[in-house]
Chains A and B, each alone.
Chain A
Amino acid sequence: MQVPAPFEYQRVHSVGEAISLLDRLGDTARLVAGGHSLIPMMKLRLANFEYLIDINELHDELGYVRVEPGLIRIGAMTRHRELLESGELAAAFPVFRDAERVIADPVVRNRGTLGGSLCQADPSEDLSAVCTTLDASCVIQGVDGERVVSMEDFHQGPYETAVGDAEMLTEVRFPVRPRGSSAYEKVERRAGDWAVVSAGAAVWLDEDGLIADARVGLAAVGPNTAGIPGITQALRGQWPAQELYSRAGDIAAEACSPVTDRRGSAEYKRHLARELTVRVLRRAVARINGQGA
């Protein structure tokens, strides 16, 4: 039987209460949201805490998808299922629905949250790649107020984030720009598994149909969820075309640093990084032009 080591269970009912408790307990405490990454790690004793602070009661406060002009704000306690089922989110960022369909399974998605996924900071985690692709920023609340950090600064290494001991992630913000779309693809060994490699792309066109901006985010090909700035540079100002996507795929394959493990060889993962980058760029552009689902 796998059971976590003993800890004190605490339940909080507001963000303020959570932060003051974290402030008092320091690094002996950890927040738990959906718990579908943390509880398995605690069962394996890979993670041990004196205090576990349950923030599921904050779902009313932090479970939302708010669409504003030029910005979508998603609360950290929004569950995978809610992200999958949000029509407004899918309309602005199809990459979310693509990814949510292949994250874990429907029952796990009833429980897991956006904030929990990002704070877990697993390099294979899909929503981190989605947020990197969409140039998201993370709102971190602490005793002295809130600060906003980019995805690049949020992930500081495998399982490490910018969130301090007395802070919590409360919201993720996504800039919405015109004439853009996005897509996500994942290769996995079986349904619901972690990615062998997955890739997200977001593309924005200018009024003439040239690429105004493009971003690619890859999961499971290095210590961090990787954005590939070289692709952005190579694509800006160009006409969208297959040859261009192939060049982007080459850049992705070169820029990533996968390791051989049970999910596949480094060489195979590099191949996937290349091929998936091509596919998601092509689909994102097709979606801008109203083609393809």
Chain B
Amino acid sequence: MSVNGEEITRDIEGRLLLVHFLRDHLRLTGTHWGCDTSNCGTCVVWLDGEPVKSCTVLAAMADGHEVRTVEGLEQNGELDPVQRGFMECHGLQCGFCTPGMMMTARALLDREPDPSEEEIREAISGQICRCTGYSSIVRSIRWAAAEEAGTRTTATDPALGTGATEPAAAATSGSAS
């Protein structure tokens, strides 16, 4: 399979799950292993460009296919706008759900560059943030969308709902689209 653009060949057991292959065999520990029941979504990686829960995909199923993990978001030494959005808008607290959230966010923005808050919430609805930081995660993704559209002027522009340091701006972010 290819992982983050690199061709990988390993002999593995048929029952090995993709999440464990990535973490234990390739040492790509950015992908987290959570609930083991395809509920929490921290293990989300891309398989042929679509987010999947890697605790419920066999590593062997990815043979001959393209896998992208959170380590593959950074390109040429530069963080992806989604990663920067999570930094700017406090999109993570404990960080456990973050890799899955960011992979789903990246896929969403590739498909819909200007998602509404509702579309973002739907996209991440199969993923759980136990810090309950959903509002910040939504803001982070909107920050990335604005950044990519070139419409983000400052980090605290209230019209874009990116006011990470401005509680008043954050409170109105839901109505902007």
Q: Is the CB of A111 within 8 A of B15?
A: no
Expressed in whole angstroms, the minimum distance between the Cβ of B121 and any Cβ of chain A is: 10
Answer yes or no: B51 CB below 8 A from chain A CBs: yes
Candidates B51, B58, B122, B127; contact of A35 at CB < 8 Å? B58
Q: Which residue of A lies closest to B35 (CB)?
A: A2
Q: Is the CB of B57 within 8 A of A52?
A: no
Residues of chain A within 8 A (CB-CB) of B41 are 105, 107
Answer yes or no: A110 CB below 8 A from chain B CBs: yes
How many residues does chain B have at the interface if contact means C-beta atoms less than 8 Å apart? 28
Q: In whole angstroms, how far apart are the Cα atoms of A164 and B91 in the complex? A: 50
Answer yes or no: A8 CB below 8 A from chain B CBs: yes
The stretch from A36-44, A205-213, A217-225, A261-269 touching chain B is A36-44
Candidates B13, B17, B50, B126; contact of A192 at CB < 8 Å? B126
Q: Is the CB of B60 within 8 A of A107?
A: no
Answer yes or no: B106 CB below 8 A from chain A CBs: no
Q: Is the CB of B36 within 8 A of A110?
A: no
A-B contact count (CB 8 A): 81
CB-CB contacts of A109-138 with B at 8 A, as 1s and 0s?
Answer: 011000000000000000000000000000
Answer yes or no: B37 CB below 8 A from chain A CBs: yes
Q: Is the CB of B123 within 8 A of A108?
A: no
Residues of chain B within 8 A (CB-CB) of A32 are 58
Q: Is the CB of A11 within 8 A of B123?
A: no
Q: In whole angstroms, how far apart are the Cα atoms of A56 and B62 in the complex? A: 10
Within 8 A of B (CB), among A1-29: 1-9, 11
Given contacts A2-B36, A36-B38, contact A106 B14 (CB under 8 A): no
Q: Is the CB of B125 within 8 A of A105?
A: yes
Q: Is the CB of A110 within 8 A of B38?
A: no
Answer yes or no: A90 CB below 8 A from chain B CBs: no
Given contacts A11-B63, A36-B38, A40-B38, contact A107 B44 (CB under 8 A): yes
Q: In whole angstroms, how far apart are the Cα atoms of A21 and B96 in the complex? A: 42
Q: Which residue of A lies closest to B126 (CB)?
A: A105
Residues of chain B within 8 A (CB-CB) of A81 are 50
Q: In whole angstroms, how far apart are the Cα atoms of A43 and B104 in the complex? A: 25
Residues of chain B within 8 A (CB-CB) of A4 are 15
Expressed in whole angstroms, the minimum distance between the Cβ of A96 and any Cβ of chain B is: 17
Q: Is the CB of B51 within 8 A of A56?
A: no
Within 8 A of A (CB), among B90-145: 104, 122-123, 125-127
Candidates A52, A56, A105, A108; contact of B14 at CB < 8 Å? A52
Candidates A2, A9, A192; contact of B58 at CB < 8 Å? A9
Q: Is the CB of B56 within 8 A of A111?
A: yes
Q: In whole angstroms, how far apart are the Cα atoms of A107 and B51 in the complex? A: 6
Q: Which residue of A lies closest to B43 (CB)?
A: A107
Q: In whole angstroms, how far apart are the Cα atoms of A2 and B127 in the complex? A: 19
Answer yes or no: B22 CB below 8 A from chain A CBs: no
Candidates B15, B57, B61, B123; contact of A3 at CB < 8 Å? B15
Q: In whole angstroms, how far apart are the Cα atoms of A2 and B38 in the complex? A: 12
Answer yes or no: B164 CB below 8 A from chain A CBs: no
Answer yes or no: A54 CB below 8 A from chain B CBs: yes
Q: In whole angstroms, how far apart are the Cα atoms of A39 and B57 in the complex? A: 8
Q: In whole angstroms, how far apart are the Cα atoms of A111 and B44 in the complex? A: 12
Q: Is the CB of B123 within 8 A of A106?
A: yes
Residues of chain A within 8 A (CB-CB) of B68 are none
Residues of chain B within 8 A (CB-CB) of A191 are 125
CB-CB contacts of B6-24 with A at 8 A, as 1s and 0s?
Answer: 0000000111110010000
Q: In whole angstroms, how far apart are the Cα atoms of A54 and B57 in the complex? A: 11
Q: Is the CB of B56 within 8 A of A40?
A: yes
Residues of chain B within 8 A (CB-CB) of A104 are 126
- B interface list, Cβ under 8 A from A: 13-17, 20, 36-39, 41, 44, 50-53, 56-58, 60-61, 63, 104, 122-123, 125-127
- A interface list, Cβ under 8 A from B: 1-9, 11, 32, 35-36, 39-40, 42-43, 52, 54, 56, 81, 104-108, 110-111, 191-192
- A-B residue pairs in contact (CB < 8 Å), sample of 5: A36-B53, A56-B61, A105-B126, A107-B51, A192-B126
10 nearest A-B pairs in the assembled complex, by CB-CB distance: A105-B126, A9-B14, A107-B126, A4-B15, A110-B50, A2-B36, A9-B60, A107-B51, A39-B56, A105-B125
